[in-house]
A = this chain, B = another copy of it.
Amino acid sequence: MAYTMKDVAKRAGVSVATVSRILNGLSGYSEETKKRVNQVIDEMGYQPNAIARGLISKKTRTLAVLLPEVSDLFASEVLAGVEEEAHEKGYSVIICKTAKNGVRTMKYLQTLRENQVDGIIFMSETLTKEYYEAIRKMGASLVLVSTRSDYDIPYVKVDDRQAAYDATSYLVEKGHRSLGMLSGTEGDLIATVPRVAGFKEALCDHGLPAEEHRIAYGDFGFSSGALAMERLLRRVPDVEAVFCASDEMAVGALSLLHRKGIKVPGEISIIGYDNTRAAEMAFPPLTTMAQPLYQMGKKAVDIVLGHRSAESLLLSHQMVERETVGQR
């Protein structure tokens, strides 16, 4: 059995109250007793029990991250940022895979409540009313990452419409005139609609055709990227450059193009989105519209801990030029 505060108190010849004060840096003891108590603590190798502390303080110094999928390049990059910042601030982080499943998510929310987590970081999904209510009731603070909601909840994300607009414009500036897009899940209000809007808007503003058939939908994944690219090729045989809604889809497209013997960027230019590790590992290295994923994770923690006045953050996107976009 590990030592308790009582043991320390007894051995140091003081009361537990005094030990507690010293441990918590409060006032109310002499330098002398402090020294003595600290010495005893070292001798005994005493460590406070965070559970007991949490029972009283109602604070557990624990955060939870809810994400659709753990083994996902996008998510794990953000997660890395969360872990780092939380660690620096002295918090632990619990991971919860929602699998975009309502029942599973609610079950997690219940566990989190029982475990009294202090804050929740909710990623890449729509916050339903049910989720929102559950979180509100448990009294945890909340921040959204890469999504937003109608409720007044702080979020940290990139301006997707603008980023898509900029990526598309970049392609146009490189001289491409027949553009196409490999989009994410059709109808996805969070990650698809704004990007499609940005894509079309950029084309319109540049006086280029923006018909619906220039957009091939997928699901953000690698295979869907290859499939969507194939469809796009059929529908727009003269396509010169393609904006992809995720790096994974872009890499899928690259793969298909390789297979067909179509040169990138020689014949077709490809631009990705996210700047996950997949982008640097692609061949040729993928030019992409970067989201500051790691930073987003760190900022989310700052916000959820209230160090950043619960303000939403629109982080800036950035073009990362590698080798899949050519000049025409």
- A residues with a Cβ closer than 8 A to B are 2, 45, 47-52, 54-55, 60, 62, 69-73, 76-77, 79-80, 83-84, 87, 90, 92-97, 104, 108, 110-111, 113-116, 137-139, 222, 248, 251-252, 254-255, 258, 277-278, 280-285, 294
Closest Cβ neighbor of A74 among chain B residues:
B71
Cβ distance A152 to chain B, nearest Cβ, rounded Å: 23
Q: Within the assembled complex, what's the spacing in Å between the Cα atoms of A222 and B52?
A: 46
Which among B80, B114, B255, B258 is the interface contact of A48 at CB below 8 angstroms? B114
Q: Within the assembled complex, what's the spacing in Å between the Cα atoms of A280 and B251?
A: 10
11 A/B residue pairs, CB under 8 Å, sorted by A: A2-B138, A45-B137, A51-B55, A62-B94, A70-B80, A71-B73, A71-B294, A87-B96, A87-B97, A251-B281, A281-B281
Cβ distance A182 to chain B, nearest Cβ, rounded Å: 15
A71 touches B76 (CB 8 A): yes
Q: Within the assembled complex, what's the spacing in Å between the Cα atoms of A45 and B93?
A: 26
B50 touches A281 (CB 8 A): no
Which among B50, B83, B110, B139 is the interface contact of A70 at CB below 8 angstroms? B83
- Supply 18 further A-B pairs (C-beta < 8 A) apart from A47-B110, A51-B60: A2-B138, A47-B113, A49-B55, A51-B116, A62-B94, A70-B79, A70-B83, A71-B76, A71-B277, A72-B76, A83-B95, A87-B96, A87-B97, A92-B111, A222-B280, A255-B283, A278-B281, A283-B283
Chain B residues within an 8 Å CB radius of A277: 71, 73, 222
B95 touches A281 (CB 8 A): no
Closest Cβ neighbor of A276 among chain B residues:
B71
Interface of A is mostly: helix
Closest Cβ neighbor of A251 among chain B residues:
B281
A248 touches B92 (CB 8 A): no
Chain B residues within an 8 Å CB radius of A280: 222
Closest Cβ neighbor of A90 among chain B residues:
B111
Closest Cβ neighbor of A252 among chain B residues:
B281
Closest Cβ neighbor of A115 among chain B residues:
B50
Nearest 8 CB-CB pairings of A with B: A50-B114, A70-B80, A71-B80, A71-B76, A76-B76, A50-B115, A71-B77, A51-B54
Closest Cβ neighbor of A257 among chain B residues:
B283
A92 touches B110 (CB 8 A): no
A80 touches B97 (CB 8 A): yes
Closest Cβ neighbor of A93 among chain B residues:
B95
Closest Cβ neighbor of A78 among chain B residues:
B71
Q: Within the assembled complex, what's the spacing in Å between the Cα atoms of A93 and B104?
A: 15
B114 touches A47 (CB 8 A): yes
Chain B residues within an 8 Å CB radius of A71: 73, 76-77, 79-80, 277, 294
Cβ distance A33 to chain B, nearest Cβ, rounded Å: 23
With A51-B55, A76-B76, A80-B70 as given contacts, are A115 and B95 in contact (CB-CB < 8 Å)? no
Q: Within the assembled complex, what's the spacing in Å between the Cα atoms of A69 and B81?
A: 11
Chain B residues within an 8 Å CB radius of A47: 110, 113-114
B49 touches A114 (CB 8 A): yes
